[in-house]
C-alpha cells in the first residue's frame, strides 16, 4: 500500500469515527433511568473518549430549554440597579450549566399633566366711561360717619347699578398688612369721606423712674486749664516731677507726675560750681527765669543759688529744668515732658501768678526714709541704706516744709535764716526765698 493510500485510509477512519460519535450523542436517552451513562464510571469513560470539542457540546444546555428573552424596551435613564448574578441550575441527568437572567425593567415613568396657566382678567373697553359714572354716583351718595382707631373697619362702598361691567370686573388680591399698619389705615379716613380726619390713638409713653440720689455729684469735679496756679515738687531718688495745679479758692491738686529722664550727682545738696550735683532745697521761679528758646528746647531756671545757698557759701548756677535727656546738675525731662510743664508755668504767670515755687527733695521725706539713708535703721547694717549721716540735720530741716504742704495742701513761704530754713515767718535776720 502506497503512502497516499495509507493517508486516505486513516482520514476515512477518522471521519467515520467522528460521524459515529455524533450519531451516538444524538440518540442517547438522557432522561431515562436505565441510561448506560448514568453511572459515574460510564460518564468518565465517555468524557475521556470524546474529544474536547464534543465534551463541551455535551455539557451545554439543549437549545429551546428556556424561552427567548423579550427585546429590551427604551427606558429613561435611572439609577443603576444591582446586577443579577448568574444563577446556577441544578444538575439534570448529570449535566450542570449556568444562565444569566436579564435585569428587571425599570418602573414606568409617571406622566406629567401640564395645567394651563390662567390668564389675567381682561380690561373693559369702556373703563373711562364707567369710571365717570362711578364718580358721579359716589358724589351723590350721602357721606358716611368718620371712623376712629377703635372702630371696626366698614365694608367697601356698594357699586351703583349704573356700572354693572365695573362691578363684575375681577379685582386684584388685597395686600396683607401688619397689625400696626392696618390699624393706622383703618383710622385714616378714605377719599370718599368728606368729614375731617380723625385723631389717631396716642402711643403709651414709658413710665420714668426717679434717679437715685447718688446719681448726681454734689460738687462738680475740678477741671484744670491753662492759667491755673502752679506748684512743682521734685524727688531725686524716685526720679519724679510732680505738677500741682489750683483753681481759685481751692487747694492744690496733683495734675500729673512726670518721670525725670536724667539728673546728675548723688543725694545731697549742690555745694559748688562744677561738682555735677543737682541741688536740694526751696526755690522760686519768676518770669525772668523762663527760657523758651533754650538749647534744650524749653527750660526754666530753678533759681540756684537761692538766699540760703549764698548764706552758706555755695556757688554755681544755671540749674535748669529743661528738655532732652542730658544733665550736668540739671533735671532733664525730654522735649515732650518739658513742653507741657513749661506751658503750664508760662500760662500761670501770664494769668497773674508772680512766682512758681519749686521744692527739690532728695526723696519723699518720711522718718523711715531718712533713717534708712542716714544709717539710723537696721537696713544700714545689711547694706540696704545710704551713707549720708552728715546730711541728717539738713534733711530734717527740709522735712518741716515737706510736712506743712502734706498737711495743709499749701506750699509754705520759705525763709533763709543762716544755717536753716524757716517757714511762715522769720526774724529780721532771715531773708525770704524769692525769684529774680
Rounded to 5°, angle at Cα 167 from 166 and 172: 85
The span from the CA of 299 to the CA of 370, in Å, is 31
Neighbours of 376 (CB within 10 A): 15
Quick check: 265 and 273 in contact, CB under 8 A? Answer: no
Provide the pairing of β-strand 87-88 with 98-99: antiparallel
Q: Do 270 and 316 meet the contact criterion of CB atoms below 8 Å apart? A: yes
Task: Give the burial class of 73: count Cβ atoms within 10 A of its Cβ; 0-12 exposed, 13-18 middle, 19 or more buried.
Answer: exposed
Dist CA 333 CA 330 (whole Å): 10
- Strands 331-332 vs 320-322: parallel, antiparallel or unpaired: parallel
Active-site residue 291, yes or no? no
297, 330, 359, 430: the catalytic one is: 330
* Rounded Cα gap, residues 362 and 386, in angstroms: 12
Please pick, among 261, 322, 359, 430, the residue that the annotation labels catalytic. Answer: 322
Q: Cβ-count burial of 160 within 10 angstroms (0-12 exposed, 13-18 middle, 19+ buried)?
A: middle
297 is catalytic: no
| Residues 6+ positions from 405 with CB-CB distance below 8 Å | 233, 359, 411, 412
Q: Which residues are catalytic?
A: 322, 330
Amino acid at each position: 500500500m502506497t503512502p497516499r493510500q495509507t493517508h486516505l485510509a486513516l482520514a476515512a477512519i477518522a471521519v467515520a469515527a467522528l460521524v459515529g460519535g455524533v450519531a451516538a450523542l444524538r440518540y442517547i436517552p438522557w432522561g431515562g433511568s436505565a441510561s448506560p451513562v448514568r453511572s459515574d464510571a460510564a460518564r468518565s469513560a465517555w468524557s475521556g473518549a470524546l474529544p474536547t470539542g464534543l465534551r463541551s457540546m455535551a455539557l451545554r444546555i439543549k437549545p429551546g430549554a428556556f424561552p427567548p428573552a423579550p427585546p429590551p424596551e427604551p427606558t429613561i435613564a435611572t439609577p443603576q440597579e444591582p446586577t443579577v448574578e448568574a444563577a446556577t441550575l441544578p444538575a439534570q441527568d448529570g449535566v450542570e450549566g449556568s444562565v444569566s437572567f436579564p435585569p428587571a425593567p425599570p418602573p414606568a415613568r409617571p406622566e406629567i399633566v401640564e395645567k394651563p396657566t390662567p390668564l389675567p382678567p381682561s380690561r373693559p373697553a369702556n373703563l373711562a366711561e364707567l369710571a365717570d359714572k362711578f364718580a358721579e354716583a359716589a358724589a351723590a351718595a350721602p357721606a358716611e360717619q368718620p371712623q376712629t382707631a377703635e372702630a371696626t373697619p366698614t365694608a367697601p362702598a356698594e357699586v351703583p347699578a349704573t356700572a354693572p361691567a365695573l362691578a363684575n370686573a375681577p379685582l386684584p388680591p388685597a395686600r396683607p398688612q401688619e397689625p400696626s399698619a392696618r390699624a393706622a389705615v383703618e383710622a385714616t379716613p378714605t377719599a370718599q369721606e368728606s368729614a375731617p380726619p380723625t385723631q389717631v390713638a396716642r402711643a403709651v409713653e414709658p413710665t420714668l423712674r426717679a434717679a437715685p440720689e447718688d446719681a448726681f455729684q454734689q460738687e462738680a469735679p475740678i477741671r484744670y486749664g491753662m492759667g491755673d496756679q502752679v506748684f512743682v515738687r521734685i524727688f531725686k531718688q524716685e526720679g519724679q516731677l510732680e505738677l500741682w495745679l489750683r483753681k481759685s479758692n481751692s487747694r492744690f491738686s496733683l495734675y500729673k507726675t512726670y518721670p525725670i529722664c536724667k539728673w546728675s550727682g548723688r543725694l545731697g545738696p549742690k555745694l559748688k560750681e562744677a561738682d555735677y550735683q543737682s541741688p536740694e532745697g526751696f526755690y522760686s521761679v519768676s518770669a525772668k527765669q523762663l527760657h523758651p528758646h533754650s538749647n534744650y528746647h524749653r527750660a526754666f531756671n530753678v533759681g540756684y543759688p537761692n538766699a540760703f545757698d549764698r548764706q552758706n557759701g555755695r556757688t554755681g548756677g544755671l540749674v535748669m529744668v529743661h528738655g532732652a535727656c542730658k544733665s550736668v546738675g540739671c533735671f532733664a525731662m525730654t522735649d515732650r515732658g518739658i513742653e507741657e510743664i513749661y506751658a503750664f508755668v508760662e500760662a500761670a504767670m501770664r494769668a497773674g501768678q508772680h512766682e512758681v515755687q519749686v521744692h527739690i527733695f532728695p526723696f519723699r521725706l518720711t522718718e523711715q526714709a531718712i533713717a534708712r539713708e542716714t544709717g539710723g535703721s537696721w537696713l544700714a547694717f545689711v547694706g540696704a541704706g545710704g551713707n549720708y549721716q552728715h546730711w541728717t540735720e539738713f534733711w530734717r530741716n527740709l522735712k518741716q516744709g515737706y510736712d506743712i504742704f502734706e498737711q495743709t495742701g499749701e506750699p509754705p513761704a520759705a525763709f533763709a535764716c543762716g544755717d536753716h530754713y524757716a517757714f511762715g515767718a522769720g526774724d529780721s535776720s532771715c531773708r525770704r526765698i524769692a525769684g529774680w
